[in-house]
Structure 1
Amino acid sequence: MTTFVLVSGPFTDGRVWGEVTTRLRESGAEVHPVTLTGLGDRRRPAGPDTGLETHIDDVVRLIDETDAPEVVIVGHDYGIHPVLGAADRRPERIARIVYLDAGMPQDGDVALQLVPDEEVRGRLLNPAGPDGDDGWIAPPAADGWQRWGSTAGLSEEALARLTDLASPQPSATFTQPLRLTGALAAVPTSGVFCTASGMSIAKLEGLMTLGMPQLKALADPRVGFFDLDTGHWPMLSRPDDLAELLLRAAAGGGHRLTAPPTEELPGHLRPFALDVPEQARERVGRVDLHLPSDLAEAEAGAKAGTAAEAGAPRPAVLFVHGGPVPETVRPTPRDWPTYVGHGQYAASQGVIGATLDHRLHSLADYPLAAQDIADAVELLRADPRVDGDRIALWFFSGGGPLSADWLSAPPSWLRCLAASYPILAPLPGWHAVDSRFRPATALAGAGRLPVVLTRVGLEVSEIAATVEAFVAAAAAERTDLEVIDVPHGHHGFDTLDPTDESREAIERAFRVVLGHLLP
């Protein structure tokens, strides 16, 4: 007989698992839905010190009180934090950990990192501010749950029930770091993706091509995955199907990932589609400068006293990589062939190409990345070799939302903004992305700024929808938009598709951008 311990997400308690608990028990399983301190049980009120450690103790206590030698422990959303903390203390009692539409927190992480509601995140980051939380975060009203996760599949009755069951959450549960010893390394795990939240098995397999160490570890026979076509609260929207998946997970079922062959280059590290003559490259902090050969030779000659000055300052193009890219990924994006290729090609055309490593490591990091871009622009414009009045910004993939700041109020020196296969609005499940980063909305302030969009025909449907919405908004705002189509191109076509069509698209985009920079 399988024994389940069920730990739900923020503001909810054991009652939210009611129908799932019934179905599991009907199958013969023993089930323990957990109510954490301060959430729904007046006999266990929260005090001023109630935090993540308190909730970990709650789960450990329940495990210790359970007669079963091993339990399958399920963590939904925030619930994965106390689940992992408890399992780390009692690894010998854990048969399997199930991540239910949850992140993959590591030692030292705080739940705040994945809080999707911007307003709540701001209060947690600044508890002493005028809008501080006083030690508690109130649950959302019925019309506010979508800020915490997709409500797809929830009936009006289910949404009302979710609201009625909700309790305020102690703030420290979001801000205390999770402490793990590594004892969980041998514990089997399962993941259940609620696809309306934006992630699926197929998308995870696509991410694995980046070679991220933490994702490679998921290609393990002890790890299984399931897709569930619903929103973030499957225990209310599809309780029967969720119960069935949990039983299958407990039995060791699920889709197994396959790591890409180590000898095969991942897509982002394949060669750039264009053959580009080598240009000088100079590293300054987070920024690499790709210098035209005549400028580099003149500089070298001037230093040696054998040549004249380098001449007039040059226009510059700053290339902004996509993401999120975990901080541990090596090489970093500015050394990926796509960005090296664009920087070198810009230099071969007589302008300075600039690439940078910005800090878009998670969905909550767009403000950090935006600051890195602003700093890179300032560095560029201060360089005496750069014509500070002739700059273009070029965004790629998940860097697309970062274009919003520049579209909303373009400075006079910004002569052109380009984007290649960009994501131009937060995708489903990207609740942690600040509302500031919505390029289509920002177009209202773009004025006469020229915009160059390279669009691929084989784009992921969710990304394609953001591009089409942007194009429609540009038409409504009468934006100076030029669209370059790559009908047979994939997302990342500049390395994935080394075809004449790809090369022509890259060259055409450069001609348009440089046409706005060069006299």
Structure 2
Amino acid sequence: MTVFVLVPEAHTGGWVWEDVAGLLTEAGAGVRPVTLTGMAGSGRPAGPGTDLETHVEDVLRVVDSLDTADVVLVGHGYGIHPVVAAADRRPGRVARVVHLDAGMPRDGDAPLQLVPDQELRARLTASVTTAAPGGDAGPVAPPPLGAWERWGSTAGVPAAALARLAADAAPQPIGTLTRPLRLTGAPAGLPTTGVLCTGNGSSIAMVEALVGMGHPELQVLTDPRVTFFELATGHWPMLSAPGELADVLLKAAAGDGHRIATTGELPAHLRPFLLDLPERPRERRERVDLHLPEPAAGGAPRPAVVLVHGGPVPAGARPAPRDWPAFVGYGRLAAAMGAVGAVVDHRLHSLGDFPRAAEDLVEAVELVRADPRVDADRVALWFFSAGGVLTADWLAAPPHWLRCVAATYPVLAPLPNWGLAESRFRPAAAVRGTGAPPVVLTRVGRERTEIAATVDEFLSAAKDAGADVEVIEVPDGTHGFETTDRGPAAREAVERAMRTVLAHLRR
């Protein structure tokens, strides 16, 4: 008989699994919900030495008490850390590990590194750093009722369940978040399943895109023993969709699920641009490539279109974004239409890098505007994908020379699992101000649900503010359509977007 060992998120206990446990039991499976030391109902209060190792031992006690090798360890959020450590120490006792809306911790990682709320992570890191030698920084208080989004989207959680989540939560011992995870690699190749909650910002399509982008730590996900499922809910599916979660867990235990295949084909972002364009002179200057148009009569400077990629993109990715066919194509298209196409290669290598990417963009724009071939008073900024959240600074306080902001299949709000809910990177809030420049937004009809919701939020805010927004629709388009679709509708959308941007520059 399959036995599911269910290990919960931080601050919570085995009680969060009640509905799922009942459904799994009805299906004939064994279930062992775990309440970790220090959590309400564990019977083991946290002491000064309670840390991640304590919680690993909690899981090991449950595994060792079972008389079957068909054990499926399920880790939700923080719970994945003691789960993978337990699997590492009992490789012959565990049949599968399920990452339930959880990251992929590696040897030496502290759970604090995967805490989604970046502000909370920075504060806890500082408190540990400044603690007296041998001292205890103290437990981490659970969020109040209205702040559970800091640990992940609460989409779909009934009000009563959310109230219980807040009422029964317990302080998390700081050592459970700061002690590094220790893994030997013993269970390498152990069957693994990722359950992604799209309402929290994760999806199979997103994982496939990141794998194709070359993130080295994600290449293990192409192993045929790794499967994936999606749940259309937030970070707490045991509370918001217990039936769907129980069904997925049973299928995962049976080895079902989506597998990420390696076909040997070029990744989508490295396929040819949808328009065949003549080469133009290209100059590389620091983090910017300039695609240059024919000189204007009399040597007059040209307007510039600054192109900003999304990400995160691995630091060592080759080719780098400025050499991807789509951005080379857009740069050439701008040059062919009489503008300087400037492609920025900023350093958005992780979700914590948005401030650094924003600084890189400011420096790149200054470099472009200082070029004598550029009319410094006629510049447009064009953002793609996750680069879309970088529009917030420019919409909130647009300089006089910014004639237009463009965005193509953009992410226009931080996704819940990015941990940036309270950050400055919220374009919908920025566009509510006065004086926002015209916006040209290319929207694809087959966008990922979690991203489409951010576009809808932005358009609603822009409408309320009376902002000048032109939406160019690509009804059958997908994220990154310029290198996957050469049809007439896609080609016309790209050309129309560029014509519209240049029209704003020439007014």
**TM-score w.r.t. length of structure 2:** 0.85
For structure 2, the residue ranges without an aligned partner over 5 or more in a row are 131-135
Distance across 2 between alignment mates of 1:357 and 1:109: 29
Between stretches 318-327 and 484-493, larger displacement belongs to: 484-493
Other-structure match for 2:259: 257
Change (3 A) 1:86 1:372: farther
Q: Report SS of the residue matched to 1:276.
A: coil
Change (3 A) 1:258 1:167: closer
User: What root-mean-square deviation, in Å, do the aligned CA atoms of Structure 1 and Structure 2 show?
Assistant: 3.4
Distance across 2 between alignment mates of 1:65 and 1:10: 24
Distance across 2 between alignment mates of 1:213 and 1:128: 30
1:404 aligns with 2:392: yes
Other-structure match for 2:306: 318
Distance across 2 between alignment mates of 1:374 and 1:125: 29
Residue 370 of structure 1, aligned match among 358, 381, 385: 358
1:168: how far off?
A: 0.9
Distance across 1 between alignment mates of 2:481 and 2:19: 47
Amino acid at match of 2:257: H
1:77: how far off?
A: 0.8
Between stretches 158-167 and 95-104, larger displacement belongs to: 158-167
Between stretches 214-223 and 417-426, larger displacement belongs to: 214-223
Q: Report SS of the residue matched to 1:98.
A: strand
1:502: how far off?
A: 3.1
Other-structure match for 1:196: 199
Amino acid at match of 1:281: R
What are the residue-to-residue correspondences of 1:275-294 with 2, within 5 Å? 275-292=276-293
Other-structure match for 1:159: 162
Change (3 A) 1:251 1:491: closer
What are the residue-to-residue correspondences of 1:212-251 with 2, within 5 Å? 214-215=217-218, 217-251=220-254
Deviations 1:207-257 (A, max 9, x none): 6555655555334432233344443223334445544443432333x2232
8 Å Cα contact 1:208-1:259 kept in structure 2: no
Change (3 A) 1:186 1:488: closer
Other-structure match for 2:472: 484
Identity %: 61
Distance across 2 between alignment mates of 1:390 and 1:402: 20
Would you identify which runs of 4 or more consecutive aligned residues in structure 1 move more than 6 Å? none
For structure 1, the residue ranges without an aligned partner over 5 or more in a row are 296-309
Q: Report SS of the residue matched to 1:127.
A: helix
Change (3 A) 1:21 1:108: same
8 Å Cα contact 2:199-2:450 kept in structure 1: no
1:69: how far off?
A: 4.7
Change (3 A) 1:70 1:460: closer
1:499: how far off?
A: 3.1
Distance across 1 between alignment mates of 2:464 and 2:248: 46
Other-structure match for 1:380: 368
1:52 aligns with 2:52: yes
8 Å Cα contact 1:417-1:450 kept in structure 2: yes
Distance across 1 between alignment mates of 2:227 and 2:449: 26
Distance across 2 between alignment mates of 1:145 and 1:95: 32
Change (3 A) 1:188 1:491: closer
1:485: how far off?
A: 3.5
1:175: how far off?
A: 3.8
8 Å Cα contact 2:150-2:421 kept in structure 1: no
1:410: how far off?
A: 0.7
Between stretches 500-509 and 90-99, larger displacement belongs to: 500-509
Distance across 2 between alignment mates of 1:66 and 1:256: 29
8 Å Cα contact 1:419-1:454 kept in structure 2: yes
1:356: how far off?
A: 2.5
Distance across 2 between alignment mates of 1:392 and 1:409: 14
Change (3 A) 1:241 1:449: closer
8 Å Cα contact 1:115-1:432 kept in structure 2: no
Across the two proteins, how many residue pairs are aligned to each other? 501
Other-structure match for 1:300: none
Other-structure match for 1:37: 37
Change (3 A) 1:180 1:284: farther
Distance across 2 between alignment mates of 1:23 and 1:202: 29
Amino acid at match of 1:492: G
8 Å Cα contact 1:277-1:344 kept in structure 2: yes
Distance across 1 between alignment mates of 2:31 and 2:205: 31
Amino acid at match of 1:160: A
1:16 aligns with 2:16: yes
1:318: how far off?
A: 1.7
Q: Report SS of the residue matched to 2:98.
A: strand
Q: Report SS of the residue matched to 2:444.
A: strand
1:403: how far off?
A: 0.4
Other-structure match for 1:171: 174
